């Protein structure tokens, strides 16, 4: 087993670059980290470019032998604990990460779906990852992101999805208004959250609906609100004036689920 010990190694330098959005886009690759994510990637037949393993984690048996057997089928790169520390993005790494070839994120929208979530300028990686995970948990398989929305392959987003990023089709659009108008032309109604209405999320049905979740600070953009078919709000019974974006998304996604049961 050859172990990389130098931070100047070209392989090490190229993996470190994947922490930057620019290089992720140029190379069409991203990093997944941890035993669960790497195991799920293998299970989901994700296109894994290479697997990086900390030699100490092999020697102390902290990585399950079954997983070690599975990753041996891929290009494996072994590094020292010090080098792995320069690659990891977490405070308590598990000693394994993988470089993944990302699938095309400019896929066509599936208009046969009954319910679609659109994110309009979501910026927090944790929120984005949680929403992706919630979509997966609800049995949905696509999401539409405006170009202003955070990078879904940011390491924090990827970790927050807990593997859901492998199962949800991510469609990033250049012009969110044009895309929403196309959805309307295909029989969908556009629903946005707004304080400027008396209608609650519980007063509408969720058949053939597109729900737009807006930016954490500013909400749904004005040009999207202008073409919305329905404006609704989540009832706030306490003193808090607003909800976290991922919580709001989760409530609306599961209102759709409730309507299906």
Residue 204: what pLDDT?
A: 92
Cα dihedral across residues 110, 111, 113, 118: positive or negative: positive
pLDDT (tens digit, 9 = 90+) per residue, 85-141? 999 989 899 999 999 998 866 678 999 999 999 999 999 999 999 999 999 999 999
Please indicate whether the domains covering 3-101 and 115-260 agree at the CATH topology level. no
- Whether the predicted model's global pTM rises above the 0.85 cut: yes
Q: Can you say how many angstroms the Cα of residue 99 is from the centroid of all Cα atoms in its chain?
A: 16
- Please give the Cα distance from 261 to 259 (Å, whole number): 6
- Please give the Cα distance from 13 to 33 (Å, whole number): 17
Share of the chain above pLDDT 90, in %: 84
Lowest mean pLDDT segment, chosen from 80-94, 173-187, 233-247: 233-247
Tell me the CATH class for 3-101: alpha beta
- Please give the Cα distance from 24 to 155 (Å, whole number): 11
Share of the chain above pLDDT 70, in %: 98
pLDDT (tens digit, 9 = 90+) per residue, 139-162? 999 999 999 999 999 999 999 999
First to last CA, the chain: 54
Tell me the three state secondary structure of residue 45.
Answer: coil
Ranges of each domain in the chain: 3-101, 115-260
Give the DSSP letter string of 147-186: TTSPPTTSHHHHHHHTTGGGTSEEEEES-HHHHHHHHHHT
pLDDT at 38 over 80: yes
CATH number of 115-260: 3.40.1280.10
């Amino acid at each position: 087993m050859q172990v990389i010990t130098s931070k100047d190694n070209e392989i090490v330098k190229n993996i470190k670059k994947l922490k930057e959005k620019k290089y992720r886009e140029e190379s069409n690759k991203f990093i997944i980290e941890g035993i669960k994510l790497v195991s799920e990637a293998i299970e989901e037949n994700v296109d894994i470019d290479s697997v990086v393993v900390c030699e100490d984690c092999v020697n102390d048996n902290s990585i399950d032998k079954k997983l070690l057997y599975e990753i041996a089928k891929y290009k494996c790169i072994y590094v020292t604990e010090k080098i792995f520390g320069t690659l990891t993005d977490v405070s308590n790494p598990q000693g394994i990460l993988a470089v993944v070839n990302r699938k095309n994120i400019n896929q066509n929208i599936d208009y046969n779906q009954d319910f679609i979530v659109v994110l309009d300028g979501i910026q927090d990686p944790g929120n984005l990852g949680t929403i992706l995970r919630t979509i997966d948990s609800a049995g949905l398989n696509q999401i539409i992101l405006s170009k202003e929305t955070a990078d879904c392959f940011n390491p924090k987003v990827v970790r927050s999805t807990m593997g859901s990023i492998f199962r949800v089709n991510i469609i990033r659009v250049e012009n969110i208004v044009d895309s929403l108008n196309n959805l309307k032309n295909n029989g969908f109604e556009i629903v946005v959250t707004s304080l400027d209405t008396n209608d609650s999320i519980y007063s509408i049905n969720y058949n053939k609906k597109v729900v737009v979740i807006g930016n954490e600070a500013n909400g749904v953009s004005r040009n999207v609100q202008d073409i919305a078919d329905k404006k609704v709000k989540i009832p706030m019974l306490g003193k808090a004036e607003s909800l976290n974006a991922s919580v709001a998304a989760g409530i609306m996604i599961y209102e759709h689920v409730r309507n299906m049961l």
